[in-house]
A and B are shown apart, each in its own frame.
Chain A
């Protein structure tokens, strides 16, 4: 299981080697998450329609190692965009991946940009 977790590492925007077009803006639910597949990775993509902002992170919750984060509820904690895991409601910052409710490993985050209604997630693999 641990090696599944190790597969995911945050990608900084400046380190992106490939912007993967994963769908159109209208494919994604507003103010909620959806999961995309890129190579063997599962990535949760969140569309904060109220702010017009997009975030992406690993779909894997590090707590019990389940592929579920994309189904979590999103929102903010003191202005920080976050997702709450549907399993046990652990909160993770979507800005830097840190867990806001427990001492859990941070999740990997990925940059997202929109070009011509295309949603692009940045990877370095």
Chain B
């Protein structure tokens, strides 16, 4: 990885020319460099190529000669040549050693038995996968990971993903002993054990027993543990033997000695990454390795960059789904600092910050279970910023209304906000104050901040808000320039003032002439208050709602009739088929268990819908920010596992909320048992039948940022379930911002799911009855807007391509697609 990073940094210099550098990369493995940090992902997708940092073409395009499967076995530092295992000799002007490390395998009796692996390469993983299948077929499934450090926990995740009973054995008394103190390690341990992994600390392996395959481990304390497979992850050892044989100096505990320019004892030879020993240590994290690569590149360009101090070992990781972060002097072995510790055994959260003895500076810290403050703490630590009056606010948050710590305004301009693109706060502020950018997108485009991993987006947004505030600009998520209110405020104003149409709203509380943001937002509010269909104020509807259909790539429309719960009679299926045939439409089953008919021209929409409505269909509102579908599994009527008639419940709920407009689209699901075939937890609301009633989940979605819905209430009867749903949906409709789905709405909600529970289940705001009554009114006032449209000549008149001609749009071109058709591709 570090070797690749060197290449990447070398060629990305603006002055890089292929002619000036002749670069050859030797790799022992048959694949180009890949991402070992995310190695365990290989178990999930089995796709080695997705882990590649760059493909072979990339090397070729950049003039780099990549020699795979060729191991360098000898360096001749006098003649400046290297020799590969094929006995080929290559000469060099500069040599960069980035051979990384080996997994350290302790000499333990029986370590050569079958089924004992190290965790380092894709080949290691392939062997583990094969072996795990072999033992599983014999009914054995106990796997042990030796080593409870960072890599060991990654390996444990991999083993668990293989479906094996997983144990972690650690020699020290604490997990991640390099990053965590005893209490933090203990919290991490209990959190990991929650996942069904057993952790054994203070265990020293004496031997492995078993005939050919490993079967058992014996420990020095006399205890033993069944083990059908073992993964050793007990640390790393620098791959320095070739360098050593060549006469390069090594550190006392291994690793090629380098100076602050990454130069070895030979001035033309550099060592970077895990093989390098700098200031007496080797570094097993990518960030220091990348920094070393950068320094060598700058040397080759004649610049003078060098390592200033010992590399920053601060790190934030998600291990086995648990957030763990550690920065600065985290453990404070020498007891030089004053720790402030917060430990919550119930939620399994541990936070520690170390304050300098004089109480003025942050020296380091540990976060387990909740690492939300990591970015901020790291900035305070790195920039030597002064501490708040009550330093415990660093981990507890400010209380009693004191200024929030997460206030980015305290950061110095030099603070690096985006470490991917190395953008500091000063640059971001400058884009806001001097160049006048006032939204995240524009700032990101201008400064490149947030264009890498995107992790700094919240900080950039905080900086933006704080800078705008300083400039005296009010920061509020107002709808647009025409209405200086949030959507929730507008909802209340429209309701209280009794405003009934858009022009009235603009005249009384708005400015200017509206736009594509405030018009649909108000249309949605009117619909939520009065259940008015999109036909009443067509000009303020989003263009899809205006024509009650989804515009598709060539300006034609799609038609989606409602099929509640996905249940449909053969007669209705035949009608859909006949209509599709008559109008030559492309047909596809949607993700929401209904049928989409594509390619309808504007002029044909009323006639198509007339036929569908005669057959008993209604609008499916697929074009609207409205209830779409309630997906269901087949349920107890047919399924031998079903606990509940999920189809009937889904049909009932879909019919209850059909036509309901909301800040964004709404999707639901009902599963008849915990097998969850309806994928209800991927929906805005999901119901799963369990022994003893219905579990109600809310605020999930698929899409770009998938979220599982969260449990709101358990063991409900149908009536209560619908009552809670009424309250939940109405509360969302009244308070969410425009185009905010339920999951991000909940994420922004102060108090989160617990607060939502208190409002919906405990009725803590005392608005339960009101929410139910409003929903009841909307439900009873429902009308199918397509039925309304085809029965009204004035509305039918809207469905013409030309206002002055009966002709159709002659520009629409279709091309064949299998047995059907599609729009001509965009040029």
A residues with a Cβ closer than 8 A to B are 1, 4, 22-23, 27-32, 34-37, 42, 45, 48, 50-51, 64-68, 71-73, 75-79, 81-82, 84, 86-87, 89, 91
Contacts of A23 in B (CB 8 A): 803-804
In this assembly, does B542 line the interface, its C-beta being within 8 Å of a C-beta of chain A? yes
Instruction: Kindly state the separation between the CA atoms of A36 and B519 in the bound complex, as whole angstroms.
Output: 24
B804 close to A1 (CB less than 8 A): no
Alpha-carbon distance A40/B667, docked complex (angstroms)? 44
Q: Is there contact, CB below 8 Å, between B539 and A50?
A: no
Are B513's CB and A50's CB within 8 A? yes
B827 in contact with A65 (CB, 8 Å): yes
Say yes or no: B554 contacts A77, CB within 8 Å: no
Q: Kindly name the residue among B512, B547, B805, B827 whose own CB sees the greatest number of chain A CB atoms within 10 A.
A: B512
Give every chain B residue within 8 A of A35 (Cβ-Cβ). Answer: 801-803
* Sample (28) of A-B pairs whose CB atoms are under 8 Å apart: A28-B803, A29-B538, A29-B539, A31-B514, A32-B546, A36-B802, A36-B805, A42-B811, A45-B803, A50-B513, A51-B513, A64-B553, A65-B826, A65-B827, A66-B554, A66-B555, A71-B543, A72-B516, A73-B539, A75-B513, A75-B514, A75-B518, A76-B515, A77-B515, A79-B512, A81-B513, A84-B515, A86-B543
- Distance between Cα atoms of A64 and B544 in the complex (Å): 18
Question: Is A71 a contact of B547 with CB atoms below 8 Å?
Answer: yes
- The answer to whether B542 touches A73 (Cβ under 8 A) is yes
A76 lies within 8 A of B512 (CB): yes
Count of chain B residues with a beta carbon within 8 Å of a chain A beta carbon? 35
The reply to whether B481 and A77 form a contact with Cβ atoms under 8 Å apart is yes
Known A27-B803, A48-B513; further 16 A-B contacts with Cβ < 8 A? A4-B811, A29-B539, A29-B798, A35-B802, A37-B804, A42-B809, A42-B811, A50-B506, A64-B826, A66-B553, A66-B555, A67-B809, A72-B543, A73-B519, A75-B515, A77-B481
Q: In the complex, are the beta carbons of A37 and B807 less than 8 A apart?
A: yes
Instruction: State the Cβ distance, A41 to closest chain B Cβ, in Å.
Output: 11
Contact B539 A68 (CB under 8 A): no
In the complex formed, the residue of B with least CB distance to A89 is B516
Could you give, for residues 449-482 of chain B, a 1 whenever the CB lies within 8 Å of some chain A CB and a 0 otherwise?
0000000000000000000000000000000011
Q: How many Å lie between the Cα of A1 and that of B554 in the bound state? A: 13
- Once the chains are docked, how many angstroms separate the CA of A67 from the CA of B804? 16
Contact mask B797-827 → A, CB, 8 Å, 1/0? 0100111110101010000000000000011
A59 shortest CB reach to chain B, Å? 9
A23 vs B800: C-alpha distance in the bound complex, in angstroms? 14
Bitwise interface map of B from 743 to 785 toward A, beta carbon under 8 Å scored 1, else 0: 0000000000000000000000000000000000000000000
In whole Å, how far is B309's beta carbon from the nearest beta carbon of chain A? Answer: 45
Collect the chain B residues with CB atoms within 8 Å of residue A32's CB: 538-539, 546
Binary per-residue interface labels of chain B (551-585) against chain A in the complex, 1 for a CB within 8 Å, 0 otherwise: 10111000000000000000000000000000000
Q: A68-B551, A86-B551 are in contact. Are A73 and B804 (CB under 8 A)?
A: no
Bound-state CA distance A72–B520 (Å) is: 12
B contact residues around A36 at 8 Å (CB) = 802-805
Is B503 an interface residue when CB atoms closer than 8 A count as contact? yes
Find out whether the CB atom of A75 lies under 8 angstroms from the CB atom of B807.
no
Instruction: Kindly identify, within residues 511 to 533 of chain B, every residue whose CB is under 8 Å from any CB belonging to chain A.
Output: 512-516, 518-520
**Given A30-B539, A64-B826, A66-B554, do A73 and B516 touch, yes or no (CB 8 Å)?**
yes
